[in-house]
Chain A
Amino acid sequence: MNKIIIENLSLQYSDGTESLRDVSMGIRQNAVTVLFGPAGGGKSTLLRCLNRLNDLTEVKASTGRIMIDGENILDPKTDVIALRRKVGMVFARPVPLPLSIRENIIYGLELAGEKRKSKLDEAVERSLKLSAIWDEVKDRLEEPAIALSGGQQQRICLARVLALQPEIVLLDEPTSGLDPISTGKVEAALAELKKEYTVILVPHSVQQAARTADHAAFFLTGELIEYGDGKTLFTNPKQKRTEDYIMGRFG
């Protein structure tokens, strides 16, 4: 079932960088959808449309619709706070807030008005376990999150998103700064995630795209070139440009 339906989405930033041109696609529930392609292709822009984080950026023009559960989230009347609780995001560089590990995890929940300690504790344990980092930090939850290694920080950031029990999780090159072992742990966590969530991932390499994708979309200079089942797309791409990129002929 499609969780998200993007219809004729076009967008241009005021400074003329990255843009999107007439992108239409459906994104499946409980699957990992990978958006890949060379830098400047519009992948991150698309992610930032899905939780309206682009509101913080100077956007010159945008048209089209993004339907999540049948509602157009680009509508000015959308409650963006509620949207961002429903659509969580993990960034390329782990950014722990200058708080303790525990405070980082419950940050969003507290803002949402959750005060009960039992609920908060429960969310901390559940989300840290889901992010495969519970065992490493369970005895040091009150320590500053910044003291952790980069790989641990990134899993804390993932847990921080999961604590809000979102329906959709956006990951923008979440392993770009991590060593292979940490990357493996994050990817393993992804495989678990899709059981409960709709996962959209911008991978940091074609290899990662191929490893993790249930569905894959290839973006080039703001256009959606090819979209389909992950295995088929990576073994047997229909478009010449997709094939060239996968084979490493450009990019």
Chain B
Amino acid sequence: MMTRFLSRNRHTVQRLGFSAITLVAVVTVIPIVGTIIFILFKGGSAISLEFLSGFPHDGMRAGGILPAIIGTLYLTLGTAVFSVPLGIAAAIYLSEYAKDNQWTRLIRIAIINLAGIPSVVYGLFGLGLFVLFLQFGTSILAASLTLSIMTLPVIISTSEEALRAVPQSFRTVSISLGATRWQTISRIILKEALPGILTGVILGLERAAGETAPILFTGAAFFLPRLPQSPFDATMALPYHLFVISTQVPEMPIQIQYGTALVLLVFVLTMNVIATVIRSRARAKRQW
């Protein structure tokens, strides 16, 4: 009698617990879905061919946002050019070559701290180093380099994790068959870690694409009548453009603001979806 009561009671408690956890999970989803629906609702009407392929005019109050889209694309690519090879190389060093000593611990602490620096500080650093000291000027180059430094910690730590997840036995076997360390890495380890590395790269670049503060002083332009012609030109960019039309332009039509936000959101979410697809495909294919 007593035990039956207890077990029923326990069952109820368990159900309550599960319900609570489910509720919390749902609550975390609400802001994301809410934001997307809200922006889609408010900005959807602004999206047209002209909006995506035209230049802004009438003091940005009309026309399109093409230069901002292209600019963000350039900045993202520029960031990838610097941060991807450097980040993966650093991850390979840390995971495959570095011994666990004070030196590598120092590097790790530096990386963790790099990830914790506010993005506006990166902006100022980029202004000091790339724009002024190295005289790149306010340019795509300087902005890309600044974004690269900000993105590096994400790429390094996710890539290192992906490399470490590859079973140690692959390394032992490969070495025992007469491979050098580098042959082992290039032929086996990198291939197996690639999906994880790509996920980290995309997530890092996605963050770079959406940042305003680091490009504020280093490469972003308020308005340019033509598309940038070289890495030394300044550029418009979606997040900065959004900031400008939301705060600096009086009597701005509200649907253009939301339309711009929608394009930025789609840009970033697309990268996110690509990362998710890569990861889940690799997971399904993986055999260890």
B178 contacts the other chain (Cβ, under 8 Å)? Answer: yes
**Which chain B residue shows the least CB distance to A87?**
B176
**Size range of the chain A interface in the assembly:** 20 to 34
Task: Select B173's contact among A81, A91, A146, beta carbons within 8 Å.
Answer: A91
B272 contacts the other chain (Cβ, under 8 Å)? Answer: no
**Which chain A residue shows the least CB distance to B170?**
A97
Minimum CB–CB distance from B176 to chain A (whole Å) comes to: 5
Q: Please measure, in the bound complex, the distance between the C-alpha atom of A85 and the C-alpha atom of B179, giving whole angstroms.
A: 9
Minimum CB–CB distance from B169 to chain A (whole Å) comes to: 4
User: Once the chains bind, are A97 and B173 in contact (CB under 8 Å)?
Assistant: yes
Chain B residue contacts of A85, Cβ below 8 A: 177-178
Chain A residue contacts of B171, Cβ below 8 A: 56
User: Once the chains bind, are A144 and B287 in contact (CB under 8 Å)?
Assistant: yes
Task: Report B193-233 CB contacts with A as 1/0, cut-off 8 Å.
Answer: 00000000000000000000000000000000000000000
User: Once the chains bind, are A111 and B175 in contact (CB under 8 Å)?
Assistant: no
Interface residues of B in 44-83 (CB under 8 A from A): none
Chain B residue contacts of A107, Cβ below 8 A: 174, 177, 179, 187
Task: Select A89's contact among B167, B176, B183, B191, beta carbons within 8 Å.
Answer: B176
Chain B residue contacts of A56, Cβ below 8 A: 171-172, 175
User: Once the chains bind, are A98 and B174 in contact (CB under 8 Å)?
Assistant: no
User: Once the chains bind, are A97 and B188 in contact (CB under 8 Å)?
Assistant: yes
**Which chain A residue shows the least CB distance to B177?**
A108
Q: Please measure, in the bound complex, the distance between the C-alpha atom of A44 and the C-alpha atom of B255, giving whole angstroms.
A: 72
Q: Please measure, in the bound complex, the distance between the C-alpha atom of A107 and the C-alpha atom of B176, giving whole angstroms.
A: 11
Chain B residue contacts of A51, Cβ below 8 A: 176
B5 contacts the other chain (Cβ, under 8 Å)? Answer: no
User: Once the chains bind, are B169 and A160 in contact (CB under 8 Å)?
Assistant: no
B14 contacts the other chain (Cβ, under 8 Å)? Answer: no
B160 contacts the other chain (Cβ, under 8 Å)? Answer: no
Task: Select A53's contact among B172, B191, B287, beta carbons within 8 Å.
Answer: B172
Q: Please measure, in the bound complex, the distance between the C-alpha atom of A4 and the C-alpha atom of B288, giving whole angstroms.
A: 36
Task: Select B191's contact among A82, A98, A112, A160, beta carbons within 8 Å.
Answer: A98
Chain A residue contacts of B180, Cβ below 8 A: 81
Chain B residue contacts of A93, Cβ below 8 A: 169
Q: Please measure, in the bound complex, the distance between the C-alpha atom of A161 and the C-alpha atom of B174, giving whole angstroms.
A: 11
Task: Report A75-89 CB contacts with B as 1/0, cut-off 8 Å.
Answer: 000000110110011
User: Once the chains bind, are A164 and B178 in contact (CB under 8 Å)?
Assistant: yes
User: Once the chains bind, are B191 and A84 in contact (CB under 8 Å)?
Assistant: no
A95 contacts the other chain (Cβ, under 8 Å)? Answer: yes
Chain A residue contacts of B170, Cβ below 8 A: 95, 97-98
User: Once the chains bind, are A84 and B176 in contact (CB under 8 Å)?
Assistant: yes
Chain B residue contacts of A164, Cβ below 8 A: 177-178
Minimum CB–CB distance from A76 to chain B (whole Å) comes to: 17
Interface residues of B in 141-177 (CB under 8 A from A): 167, 169-177
**Which chain A residue shows the least CB distance to B286?**
A98
Question: Known: A98-B170, A144-B287. Contact between A161 and B175, CB under 8 A?
Answer: no
B contacts, CB < 8 Å to A: 167, 169-180, 183, 187-188, 191-192, 287-288
Given contacts A84-B175, A91-B169, 14 further A-B contacts (CB under 8 A): A56-B171, A56-B172, A84-B177, A85-B177, A85-B178, A88-B177, A89-B176, A91-B172, A97-B173, A98-B170, A98-B191, A98-B288, A107-B177, A108-B177
Please give me the 4 A-B residue pairs with the lowest Cβ-Cβ distance, nearest first.
A108-B177, A85-B178, A146-B287, A95-B169
